[in-house]
Amino acid sequence: MLRACMADSGLSAFILPSTDPHQSEYIAEHWQSRAYFSGFSGSAGTLVVTDSSAGLWTDSRYYLQAEQELEGSGIHLFRSQEAEVETTSQWLGRVLPKGSHVGIDGWLITQKEKSAKEKELEKQGLTLRLDVNPVEKAWTDRPALPKSPVVEHPLEFAGKARAIKLSEIRAKMHQMDAKHHLICALDDQAWVLNLRGSDVEFNPVFYAYLMVSHEGCTLFSDPEKFGPALRESLATDGVKIEPINKLLDHCRALDGNVWVDPAATSFAVHEALKDSGDVLHHPGVVGLAKALKNPVEVALLRKTMVKDGVALVKLFRWIEDNMAIGITENDVAEQIQVFRGQQAEYMGESFAAIAGFRGNGAIVHYRPGEDALMLEENGIFLLDCGGQYRDGTTDITRTVTFGMPTDEQKENFTLVLKGHIALATAKFPEGTGGYQLDVLARQPLWSRGLNYGHGTGHGVGFFLNVHEGPQSIRHGHNERSANPMVAGMVTSNEPGYYKTGQYGIRIENLMLCTIEDQTSYGTFLGFETLTLFPIDLELVSSELLTEAERSWLNSYHRKVLEALSPMLNAEEGKWLAYRCRPI
């Protein structure tokens, strides 16, 4: 059907990215066209369809998953991080005749991406078109945009009133000589206005655009999602609500310079702004402000980590008690929601739990389904899960052994642990970027010729997106990994190792960036580990650890035991004490 609609529009190929008009990582079903037409459900990837062939490009996190989900589809998998792999434009240049037209939805690509793609295709003798969208006709049963209500995020959790946040944005606008500031990223808008929604699975955001001006601001969204009390509260702070379909007309009618974040603003919106005045391209002030957790958020998050740790104690005891009866990976993924649901202020998962036993643990973003494996007394189990609480977002990975691990498994686990500790204990000067810190987590694995294909750390929101910028700890220098770490950021620490078809290892805690020292060489930063749950000592080869590493592990386990024990009954406390024993 897509090919038929492409032909009707005069297109020889169509590109389907994995995003929405706000350039989000996680998106509502309405925007999941790439998943709908390909069957590949990973969060990152690009589908390209021609009249006779199709390809899907994704990164190393999803290679195994994509192989399985694309099998029999006729869609060729391109492993984008491997050497000599063609880009989408190069492939199109090879399979299409010169002069062919290639389409993409102008809402799903930024101005910068559009210009780059246009140049790439021109080199191949191809033309980019953004004026037609065959998906609209080909996807006949497309889900409607969400209608879930928007709610207030109370000041007792937010720690800063929206009036103050808006005032700080306007001060920055004045510095930049911007009369208007269009905020497109969904989590940025939610943070500024102290609002939360449920339009996107796992992320408490809602679809909207926020136009901030010096005189007031307009939120373009679905007015039906806002109740009378919330409308009145927003109006008190000068926020009015307009239907989202009025956005482009409003943009075209603006007078004066408009500041946009180029990474979050679609080509379609950018085109509508061109006649208003100068369009100022600069990263939004909100992204960094949101990443720097205020004292109220930090204090609440520490308490939330205790609740989350208690839920995990209950889960792993439940696993041990029920394994003989017979439980699957899927049962574990469901049961952690039950135990988290017993904790105050729990609102749901922060992402779909990754519960992988044996070879499934080597699939980085594995999600158990109907064919989930049974947990047995011989093998390694990896659980990566997180919760959304009104008082914080959590993300934790633990790898545990059922039965006796092999020497190889213990050695590789300990190498991952050494990297985790190296990052957790890092002390570094202000201005250090994530790519500079990444090497610390990988060095123990690199020393044995081993590695992992995903990033080492991502920012985490506060009752917002579990993946949050601007910081990123990953191998290679790019715009995200070059962002310096700043005191107040919450970032994951998650090195790993994966042996295809056999097992996966990952150890993940969340860390708060803190000021550690002031010297004649400037400010030095470090990390405070926030997550509270034991690391499986049965997988640790103590002789591979240095004295300092053993000291860190013992100190961390004392902290876990002290924090969680008052919230546990006697049997749970005994269970935890053994798993936090000193080595």
Helix (H, G, I), strand (E, B) or coil at 6: helix
d(Cα 128, Cα 48) in Å, to the nearest integer? Answer: 13
Per-residue pLDDT of the chain (583 residues; tens, 9 = 90+): 999 999 999 999 999 999 999 999 899 999 999 999 999 998 889 999 999 999 999 988 788 889 989 999 999 999 987 888 999 999 999 999 999 999 999 999 999 899 999 999 999 999 999 999 999 999 999 999 999 999 999 999 999 999 999 999 999 999 999 999 999 999 999 999 999 999 999 999 999 999 999 999 999 999 999 999 999 999 999 999 999 999 999 999 999 999 999 989 999 999 999 877 789 998 878 999 999 999 999 999 999 999 999 999 999 999 999 999 999 999 999 999 999 999 999 999 999 999 999 999 998 888 887 789 999 999 999 999 999 999 999 999 999 999 999 999 999 999 999 999 999 999 999 999 999 999 999 999 999 999 999 999 999 999 999 999 999 999 988 777 789 999 999 999 999 999 999 999 999 999 999 999 999 999 999 999 999 999 999 999 999 999 999 999 999 999 999 999 999 999 999 999 999 999 9
Q: What is the pLDDT of residue 576?
A: 98
CATH 3.90.230.10 range(s) for the chain read 292-579
Q: For the chain, percent helix, then strand, then coil, each to nearest 5? A: 40, 25, 40
**Residue 370 pLDDT:** 75
For 292-579, CATH gives 3.90.230.10
Tokens of 120: 């790439």
For β-strands 387-389 and 354-357, DSSP reports them as unpaired
130 beta partners: none
Q: Which of 176, 165, 173, 121 has its CA nearest to residue 11?
A: 121
| pTM for this model (two decimals) | 0.93
Classify the C-alpha dihedral 111-115-121-122 as positive or negative: positive
Bridge partners, 14 (sequence order): 49, 103
What is the predicted pLDDT for the residue at 287? 93
Q: How wide is the angle at C-alpha 280 spanned by C-alphas 279 and 281, nearest 5°?
A: 110
Q: Which backbone phi and psi does 82 adopt, to 5 degrees?
A: -90, 150
Greatest CA separation found in the chain?
A: 74
Let me know: does 64 contact 498? Beta carbons within 8 Å.
Answer: no
CATH for 2-138, options being 3.40.50.970, 3.40.250.10, 3.30.360.10, 3.40.350.10: 3.40.350.10
d(CA 237, CA 15): 41
Picking from 359, 483, 389, 383, the residue whose alpha carbon sits closest to that of residue 431 is: 483
Tokens of 63: 């290679």
Q: What does 311-328 look like in DSSP terms, one character per residue? A: HHHHHHHHHHHHTTT--B
CA–centroid distance for 197 within its chain: 17
pLDDT of residue 60: 80
Q: Which of 445, 502, 504, 498 is nearest to 475 (CA)?
A: 445
DSSP string, 243-273: EGGGHHHHHHH--S-EEE-TTT-BHHHHHHH
| Whether CATH 2.60.40.3680 fits 151-285 | no
From CA 367, how far away is CA 415, in angstroms rounded? 26
* Burial class (CB within 10 angstroms; exposed 0-12, middle 13-18, buried 19+) of 544: middle
Hey, what are 64's tokens? 């195994």
Residue 236: the pLDDT is 97
DSSP string, 18-42: S--TT--SS--GGG-HHHHHH----
Cβ neighbors of 408 (< 8 A, separation 6 or more) are none
Q: How far is CA 438 from CA 79, 96, 455, 556, in A?
A: 23, 40, 8, 21
In order, the DSSP letters of 443-485 are: HHHHTTT---SS-SEEE--SSS-SSEEEEEE-SS--TTTTSBP
Tokens 């005994």, residue located: 574
User: Which residues in the chain are classed under CATH 3.40.350.10?
Assistant: 2-138, 151-285
Token look-up 């408009």 returns: 258
What's the gap between Cα 161 and its chain centre?
26
Q: Is 9 exposed, middle or buried (0-12, 13-18, 19+ CB in 10 A)?
A: middle
Residue 110 CA: distances (Å) to CA of 26, 106, 275, 470? 17, 8, 18, 18
**Which spans in 150-278 are helix H?**
155-158, 162-175, 186-193, 228-236, 247-253, 267-273
- The Cα–Cα gap between 65 and 70 comes to 9
